[in-house]
Amino acid sequence: MYLYIICVAAGLAVSSLAVLKNMHMFQLNSYAPMTHFRWLRKNFIKQWPQALILILTVLSGIIDSDILHIILIASLLILLLFNKPIKNAKKPLVYTSRVKRMLATVLILYALSIFFSFVFDLKYIIVGSLYVLTPVMPVIANSINFPIELSVRRWYINDAKKILKSCSNLIIIGITGSYGKTSVKYYLNTLLKAKYNVLMTPESFNTPMGITKTIRESLKPTHEIFICEMGAKYKKEIKELCDIVRPQHGIITSIGPQHLETFKSIETIIKTKFELADAVKNKGMLFLNGDNEIIMNNLHDQEYQTYGLNQTNQYYAYDVSTTQKGTTFSVICKDNKLENLNTQLIGYHNVLNLVGAIALSLFLDVQHEDIARQLKKLTSPPHRLQLLKNDGTIIIDDAYNSNPSGCKAALDTLGLFDGYKILITPGMVELGAQQDNLNYAFGEQAAAVCDYVILIGEKQTKPIYNGLINANFDKSNILIANQIKDGINQAYAIKTEKQKILLLENDLPDNY
């Protein structure tokens, strides 16, 4: 009996730590079971401890041997030493109410398992199974809690809808796109504040519960405009967000190969992004990035206005001059002009996003001089081509999730600088079957701009490496690091008399 008690203690301890790790991954996987299962499949080799315990558990059920039981206990104790929480996690496990409910369910399941291990005399088999099942325990707990979570979710969403309904004069603007939506949100927020009391969804709060949280905790009767960023990884998710906030106006910033792993096809992405167009039809104005061919080839039968850098748009920028110190440009606004505008932002892609924000601001009657004044106040959103300086080194922080268009824009921005240009990147992810080809092309593009490239993770960055080599990039100027911080340290160690410019392009979350 004493061996069993020790086994229970060791099993519960190591299982609890393993559950917390997998709960962290489940949260990073957006609580989506299929996404979590795909992650488990990709990281199958990391599940070898579960395989070991499974073998020992089965043998313990077949052979009643104290020696075998001691080996099982010893294995659990050894695994206890290795199942430590992730140190310095980029995005630590957040103990939300939902996570706490799932952990409580896991605890109940463990208590019931130990009870039945006595009833049916399956002691060691049950204890071993507690650890073997840890990778899927968050999914099991989530499935058991589904009716509760659905009720909680509905209550919060309905409460948010009531709050919005009480703000009868509130102007609601939805912004979506494969890329650029967060930048346009920040820029539009600054421009509209010249005339209105504005609330925007913070950071990347672009999911149903994130938007609901913003409404319930931050929306006041004094707000005149609510800017709502809308993100999606699956079809009909934009429609779900539109059903909550019911936007009058919308901006589609771009459509491209983003999250192909979940969307499966570009056609699904198009339909999902245009769910915002369906929501604002006959209610307000839809603003579209007219430079995006995919958008322009899939127009809906409704009123819209286009913006961009091409003169075919109703709003377009001209006389654009962008350097490492900032950007000047002018804008044609239908029959009017905004001339000699200045901003600290750099890069042509930022001008494109600014024209979209300017177009909607003018539509809502913000004055020309107010727009010019507000543009000078703009800074880059965090981790989106954000310029930083450290001991004379310029850092271009573009660590937010990358996409092909964003990577090219980041390299174009890096090319504006004079100095020793160093790219630090783990590459792009969530691009499905196109991922290797797109990363290969990224490597070829980087070869034309960079003096040095530091790749984070040898296996996943192999396509970038191949693209660099194919473009005749000096092999000796390619380094490999395990983590971004290691890559930054390697960059600082590079000897050069020129000023260093570091481009941090993408920083994968802990589930990668």
DSSP H helical ranges for 345-431: 348-363, 368-375, 404-414
Residues carrying CATH 3.40.1190.10, the chain: 164-375
Angle of helix 462-470 relative to helix 435-447, nearest 10 degrees, comes to 40
Given the structure tokens 């160093």, which residue do they identify?
422
Q: Is the dihedral of CA 414, 420, 425, 428 positive or negative?
A: positive
The residues that bridge with 478 in the sheet, in sequence order, are: 453
pLDDT, one tens digit for every residue, the chain (512 residues) = 666 677 667 667 777 888 888 899 898 888 889 888 888 887 777 766 766 676 766 666 666 666 766 776 677 667 666 666 666 666 788 888 899 999 999 999 988 887 877 776 666 667 667 777 888 899 999 999 999 999 999 999 999 999 999 998 999 999 999 888 989 999 999 999 999 999 999 987 888 999 999 999 999 999 999 999 999 888 899 999 999 999 999 999 999 887 767 788 889 999 999 999 999 998 999 999 999 999 999 988 899 999 999 999 999 999 999 888 889 999 998 778 899 999 999 888 899 999 999 999 999 999 999 999 999 999 887 777 888 887 788 888 888 767 788 888 889 889 888 889 999 998 888 777 788 898 999 999 999 999 999 999 888 899 999 999 999 999 999 999 988 888 889 998 888 888 899 999 887 655 44
3-state secondary structure 3-65: HHHHHHHHHHHHHHHHHHHHHHHHHHCCCCHHHHHHHHHHCHHHHHHHHHHHHHHHHHHHCCC
Given the structure tokens 């530091």, which residue do they identify?
454
The structure tokens listed for 164 are: 């919005």
The residue type at 74: A
CA distance 142 to 103: 9
Q: What pLDDT, on a 0 to 100 scale, did the predictor assign at position 122?
A: 63
Q: Which of 133, 137, 142 is nearest to 98 (CA)?
A: 142
CATH 3.40.1190.10, applies to 164-375: yes
Stated as kind and residue range, the H or E segment containing 67 is: helix 66-82
DSSP 446-497: HHTT-SEEEEESTTTTHHHHHHHHHTT--GGGEEEESSHHHHHHHHHHS--S
Q: What pLDDT, on a 0 to 100 scale, did the predictor assign at position 124?
A: 61
Exposure pattern of 292-323 as b/e (b: 16+ CB <10 Å)?
bebbbeeeeeeebbbbbbeeebbbbbeeeebe
Asked if 259 contacts 168 with a C-beta cutoff of 8 angstroms, the reply is: no
Residues carrying CATH 3.90.190.20, the chain: 386-505
DSSP 111-165: HHHHHHHHHTT-HHHHHHHHHHTTTTHHHHHHHHTHHHHHHHHHHHHHHHHHHHH
Give how far Cα 339 sits from Cα of 53, 171, 342, 486, Å: 70, 28, 9, 45
Q: What pLDDT, on a 0 to 100 scale, did the predictor assign at position 233?
A: 84
Given the structure tokens 């198009």, which residue do they identify?
270
What CATH number does domain 386-505 carry, 3.90.190.20, 3.90.170.10, 3.90.1150.10, 3.30.230.10?
Answer: 3.90.190.20
The structure tokens listed for 131 are: 């650890």
